[in-house]
Structure 1
C-alpha cells in the first residue's frame, strides 16, 4: 500500500478480504493499493529471494491484522507474484499498527441479505444514491435503448429458425455494422482465402451466421455504455478478456462429449457478454466505482464477486444477467452470465454456466482472465463432458492463435470507440 507518506506493508490471513475502510481508521492514513504492475515489479526483485532481502522487506512500516497469530510460524504469500517465504517471529514484532482489518467470506455473505436480483439492485441504488425506486427498475434507471438494428439482431438470435438470409437483410440496412463485419472478415484471425468482395461473401464464405450475429451483438451492446475510467489498473483489457473467453469457451464446447452439449453459438455469446455487468456497475454507481476498483486491487487473492458484495452488496453477475434478461437474450446466455461463478449450480441450462466457469478458470492460469488462479481438476472436467486431454487440445488451439486473437479484440475495442 502507499500514500503521500510512503509505502506500508499490510499482512492479513490469506482467506480474508482487506477492508480498506478499517485500514484507514486504524492508521489514520488514506493508504491505497499500488497497481498490480508496480506490485509485480516490486515483489520480483532478486533480493527478495534471499532471507536477508525478506527481512529487509519486513523493515517497512508494518500493519498486521489481529487475526494473524504471531505465536506460530507464518508463511508470507504475495498473490500477484506468488512469492512465498517463512517469516521469523522477530521480523513481525516491529509492527506499527495491529488491529482488525480482514473480513471472511462467511461474514460478508452473512451481511448480504437473501433477496432476488431485482431487490438487490434496488436496495443498492437506494443506499448509494438519492434515487428512490418507485417505478419499474429498468424505467427508473433510464438506460440507453437499443438501436433498431440491435433489436432485430436480438430477435434473430432468439429465433431457432433464423438464417443467413434474415441476417443479411438486417445488417445491410446498417452501414456501420456492415463495415464492421467486412473488417472482421478481412482480419488475419480468419485467414480467408482470396479477397472479401461483398457483405454476402463475408458472412457466407468467411464468418458464418453464428459468428456474425454474436460479434454484431457484442459490439452493439458495447455501444450502450462506455468503458469506465477508473477500472482496475493492470487488469486484463476488457475486450481482450471478453473475446478470449468467447473464443476459448467455444473451443471447449465443440469438444464436449455429453448428451447436454451446449450450443457453441450461445456459448460464444455467453463468453462475450460474461463481464458486461462490470460496465453496468460503473454506470449505476459512478461515485463508488473507483473505491470498488481499489478494493479489487487490494484483494487479488479473492473472487471479484466477494469484493463486490462487500463494497456494493451487489455483483456484476446480478446486474449483468438482469440487464440481459430485460433485453430478452436467450435464457441460456442469461443463466451462464448469472451463475458463472457457481460450480454447484444444477438448474436450467446449468451446462452453459458450468462451461463458462471452467473456461474462465483455465484462462486465469493462462493470464487471459482476472481473478485468483484455481487449477481445474480432472473430475471437474469430467462433469461437463471433457477430459484433461481434450482440455489441453483446446488450450493448444487457443494459444496457437494469439496474434489473431489480439487482432480480433482490437477490432472490438475499435468498434466500441468509433460507435
Structure 2
C-alpha cells in the first residue's frame, strides 16, 4: 500500500477513490516520480510553510516554484518554508521527504495554486517511499475541500534553497567577479556639475551640446506638450532657462547618457523600450508626488528616473539569463520580479548574488557611481514593501509611483500593491491622486513619444 496510515483513513472516511501505483523504494520524491514512469507534469507537491500563526500547506505543481510574495498577498502572512525535520514532526506516519499534498488529512489549512484546480488527473505521493497514487481531478479537489485558491507559483524549473547575502557582500562580489560598466564620461561630468552650487545654465548647455544626439533629445523634450511652452526654443540653454530648469535638464541628460553604458535588447517586457517608458512615467509621477508631501521634486524625479537601472545591469552582464527572465515574466505576470529573479539567478554559485533582485543591484551600481544617497536608497529598496529607514520618503514615493502605474500596464511587475498604506505614510489625500491620474492622462502621449525616441 502506497499510503500513510492517516491519509488512508481520511480518504476512506471521505469515500474518495484513488489508484495505487507501486514503485521501487525511492530516495526522494523526484526518484519516485522517475520510477513511476508517469508524466512529471501530472504530479503535484506540497510545500509546508510556517509563521507565528502556525503551519500552512501550499499545493502546487511539481514543476513549479512557490512564490512567497504571492502567498503574502493572498494571506497577509510573511511565511517561511519548514525544514525537513520540522515537517516530519507534522507528518510522523510518512517517510522522510514524502509529504502528501492533502493537508486536510493532517488538520492543516491549505492553499491550492490555480493550475492544480483545473487538472483532470493528479499524481501525488501518498506518504511512502515505495509508491505514488493517482486520482481523478474532481476527487482530489474533494479531498481539499475548504482550501483557498490563488496564483501562487512561478512556472518553470525550481532552483532549490539559497543562502542570503548581505548587500556589502553582494557589492564586493559584483566588483570582483564582473567588469561593471563605469559611468559614461559625459554623465559623470553632468553629475559633477550638478554638485557645483555655482554652476550655470550656460555650462550645462555647453556640456550637453558636446553630444548632438543628446542635444536633439533634450530639445525634443523641452518642445513637447508636457510643458506647453508657447514660444520657440532654439538652444539647450533656452530649454534650461525658459522651460525645464537646471535640475530637470541635468537629470534627464544624465539618465540618457548613463543608459549608454548598457547593451540591452530593445524588445520584450524588460527591454529598453519598456525601460524608458517606465522610467519617464515614474519620474513624472515621483516629481508630482513630491509636490504633495514636501519632498525635493528634482531629487524625486531623479529617483524615479533611475530606480530601475539594476535591470539594465543584469541585462548587460547576463544576456542569456536576462532573456530567460523576460520569458518567465511573460509567463508569470502576477509573480513579483524579486521571485522571478531568485528563480533565474539562484542556481549558480557566482550568479547567486543577483538573486537579491535588480533593486539592490541597481542601488549598488548607483553607490559606485556616487549618485545621491536618496537615489541609491530608492533603487535598492523599491522592491521591499514596509521599508523604514534613511530616505524613506523617496523610497515610498517610488513604490507608490510604481503601484499607480501598474493599472496602466507600465512597469516590470503587476502583483497587487498596498497603495492606501503608502498614501497614508506620505500624507496624501485621495483627491490628490485623482488629480495626478488626470495629469498622467494628459501627458501620456508625450511621455510615450519621448520614451520611443530615447530607446531608438
Q: Same fold (TM over 0.5)?
A: yes
Shift of 1:382: 1.7
What is aligned with 1:374?
416
Could you say which residue in structure 1 is the equivalent of 2:93? Answer: none
Alignment correspondent of 2:79: none
Paired residue for 1:304? Answer: 337
Secondary structure at 1:197 match in 2:
coil
> Alpha-carbon deviation of 1:169?
3.6
Aligned mate of 2:364, from 322, 336, 355? 322
| Residues in 2 aligned to 1:70 and 1:155: alpha-carbon distance in whole angstroms | 63
> 1:276 — aligned with what?
309
Taking structure 1 as reference, are residues 293 and 154 closer, same or farther at Cα in structure 2, changes over 3 Å only?
same
| Correspondence for 1:193 among 203, 222, 230 | 230
The range that moved more, 67-76 or 380-389, is 67-76
Matched, 1:119 2:159: no
Q: Displacement, 1:346?
A: 1.8
1:358 paired with 2:400, answer: yes
Match of 2:121 in 1: 94
Partner of 2:277: 240
Question: 2: CA distance between counterparts of 1:109 and 1:355?
Answer: 33
Does residue 341 (structure 1) correspond to residue 368 (structure 2)? The answer is no
Number of residue-to-residue matches in the alignment: 336
**Preserved contact between residue 149 and residue 170 of structure 1 (Cα < 8 Å):** yes
Residue number in structure 2 paired with 1:263: 296
> Within 5 Å, which residues of 2 pair with 1:22-33?
23=63
- Please report the TM-score for the alignment, with normalisation by the length of structure 2: 0.63
> Is contact 1:378–1:387 with CA below 8 Å preserved after alignment?
no
Cα distance between partner residues in 2 of 1:233 and 1:351: 26
Distance 1:241 1:270 in 2: 12
CA distance in 2: counterparts of 1:383 and 1:390, whole angstroms: 14
How far apart are residue 187 of structure 1 and its match? Answer: 2.7
1:411 is the counterpart of 2:456: no
Taking structure 1 as reference, are residues 235 and 76 closer, same or farther at Cα in structure 2, changes over 3 Å only?
farther
Post-superposition shift, 1:155? 1.3
Counterparts of 1:215-226 in structure 2, within 5 Å, are 215-226=252-263
C-alpha contact (below 8 Å) 1:253/1:355 kept by paired residues? yes
Larger Rg: 2
**3-state SS of 2:182 partner:** coil
Aligned twin of 2:250: 213
Does the 8 Å contact 2:60/2:112 carry over to 1?
A: no
What pairs up with 1:122-137 in 2 under 5 angstroms? 136-137=175-176
CA 1:17/1:305 → structure 2, altered by over 3 Å: closer, same or farther? farther
CA distance in 2, matches of 1:286, 1:199: 36
C-alpha distance in structure 2 between counterparts of 1:229 and 1:406, whole Å: 15
Flag the structure with more relative contact order, 1 or 2, with Cα contacts below 8 A and sequence separation at least 6.
Answer: 1
Q: Which residue of 1 aligns with 2:326?
A: 293
Shift of 1:333: 0.4
1:19–1:103 Cα contact (<8 Å) kept: yes
Q: Is the 8 A contact 1:153 1:213 kept in 2?
A: yes
Q: Are residues 109 and 144 of structure 1, via their aligned partners in 2, closer, same or farther at CA, if it must alter by over 3 Å? A: closer
Check conservation: 1:230, 1:289, Cα contact below 8 A: no
Gaps of 5+ in 1: 1-7, 26-64, 79-85, 126-135, 415-419
Tell me how far apart the structure 2 counterparts of residues 267 and 17 of structure 1 sit (CA, whole Å).
40
Q: Which residues in structure 2 correspond to 1:148-163 (within 5 Å)?
A: 148-159=185-196, 162-163=199-200
| Alpha-carbon distance in 2 for matches of 1:268, 1:253 | 9
The Cα RMSD (Å) is 4.1
In the alignment, is the contact (CA less than 8 A) between 1:365 and 1:375 conserved in 2? no
Judge conservation of contact 1:242–1:272 (CA < 8 Å) in 2.
yes
Q: Gaps spanning 5+ residues in structure 2: where?
A: 1-40, 50-56, 66-98, 126-150, 346-354
State which of 170, 182, 185 in structure 2 corresponds to 1:145: 182
C-alpha distance 162-303 of structure 1, shift in aligned 2 (>3 A): farther
Q: State the alpha-carbon separation in 2 of the partners of residues 278 and 270 from structure 1.
A: 15
Contact 2:59 2:101 in 1 (8 A): no
Q: Summarize deviations over 1:230-277 as a string: whole Å, max 9, x none.
A: 844899822111111111111111122xxxx32111111111112111
TM-score by length of 1: 0.68
Counterpart CA distance in 2 for 1:362 and 1:114 is: 31
Supply the distance in 1 between the matched residues of 2:42 and 2:256 (Cα, whole angstroms).
42
Q: 1:331 aligns with which of 353, 373, 379?
A: 373
